[in-house]
Amino acid sequence: MRILVTGANGQLGYDLIKELEAREITALGVDIEDIDITDAHGVKHVIEEANVDAVIHCAAYTAVDAAEDNVDLCMDVNEKGTINIAKVCKELDIKMMYISTDYVFNGEGDTHWKPEDDCSPINVYGESKYKGELVVKELLDKFFIIRISWVFGVNGNNFVKTMLRLSKTNKEISVVNDQVGSPTYTADLAILLSDMIVTEKYGIYHATNEGFCTWYEFAVEIFNQGNIDILVHPIKSEAYPTKAKRPQNSRLDKSKLATNGFKLLPPWQDAVKRYISDIATPPL
């Protein structure tokens, strides 16, 4: 099997390439220097030349706050870029996996969001990713839409690395304690997505490590796992204003994974422990 992975230099794309190759699946990784996904002709050429059985579309404009000031660019990449890829997948009759986000929901309430729940994004980034979802559903039959959240991986910047960096210059920090979600290690996610892409169990799925926490609880666990002595203060979102509004409830219902025979990811605390070990001892 041959699979094209967009956004190959990102956190998830990087781990996906590694996982697919470990399974002796031909993984062709492309990133912004190889393909401009907003260029329909370029996208068509790259995918046709790759001669693949599936496309896993990880590439995206993910600067959530900057998106509020760069609406057109964000929409071009996340909506138009997805349209371009989906059209070629339809024409070639190949599978497409679109990586989406918990930000498609408004984050209200305290229940677990199900894949079929209505979407109502509260920021530009979430709206752009939701529009990408609509395109994939409209154009394709052979599609997976995977909503993920709070990702951290070896190849890129993320909350864990930020906390570890801050701990080197601060004796105490303040972290938001009223937004709930599931931290997700891209190495774990890559295993699941690799399992899924070889099947025909199409549809919309939620995929994160098991369990939920606030950003504050996430930070405390990071420092505990790293044996770092630092005082963490819980604060409300209003005390840490951001350009883009964040959903307060990002609890995602992942029962559809088990229903379709896919293995659930390990608990997020276990993922944090392994991740800190992985970045402390990078591969040779």
pLDDT in tens, 48-76: 999 999 999 999 999 999 999 999 999 99
Domain limits at 30? 2-151+185-208+251-266
The pLDDT of 79-102, averaged and rounded, is 98
| Separation between Cα atoms, residue 42 and residue 3, nearest integer Å | 18
Q: How confident is the model at residue 281 (pLDDT cuts 50, 70, 90)?
A: confident
Alpha helix (H) residue ranges in 140-227: 159-166, 186-197, 215-225
Mean pLDDT rounded to a whole number for the chain? 97
| Separation between Cα atoms, residue 54 and residue 196, nearest integer Å | 11
Residue 63: partners with Cβ closer than 8 Å, 6 or more residues away: 70, 74, 125
* 127, part of any domain: yes
Residue 91: CB atoms within 10 Å:
12
Residue 26: partners with Cβ closer than 8 Å, 6 or more residues away: 1, 2, 3, 20
The pLDDT of 265-277, averaged and rounded, is 97
Pairing mode, strands 180-181 and 213-214: antiparallel
Using DSSP's 3-state secondary structure scheme, residue 273 falls into: helix
* 231, part of any domain: no
Phi and psi for 267 in degrees, rounded to 5? -60, 150
| Separation between Cα atoms, residue 24 and residue 124, nearest integer Å | 38
* 138, part of any domain: yes
* 159, part of any domain: no
- DSSP E strands in the chain: the ranges are 2-6, 26-30, 54-57, 95-101, 143-148, 151-152, 172-176, 180-181, 184-185, 203-206, 213-214, 231-235
pLDDT (0 to 100) of residue 216:
98
Residue 201 sits in a domain of what CATH number?
3.40.50.720
Q: Which of 125, 130, 185, 216 is catalytic?
A: 125
pLDDT (0 to 100) of residue 283:
56
Residue type, 255: S
| Separation between Cα atoms, residue 177 and residue 179, nearest integer Å | 6
125 classed as catalytic? yes
C-beta of residue 194 within 8 angstroms of C-beta of residue 20: yes
* The pTM of the whole model exceeds 0.85: yes
* 41, part of any domain: yes
The pLDDT of 218-241, averaged and rounded, is 96
Q: How many separate domains does the chain show? A: 1
* 136, part of any domain: yes
Phi and psi for 31 in degrees, rounded to 5? -135, -165
Q: How far apart are the first and last CA of the chain?
A: 28
pLDDT (0 to 100) of residue 282:
58
* 34, part of any domain: yes
Q: How confident is the model at residue 274 (pLDDT cuts 50, 70, 90)?
A: very high
* 276, part of any domain: no
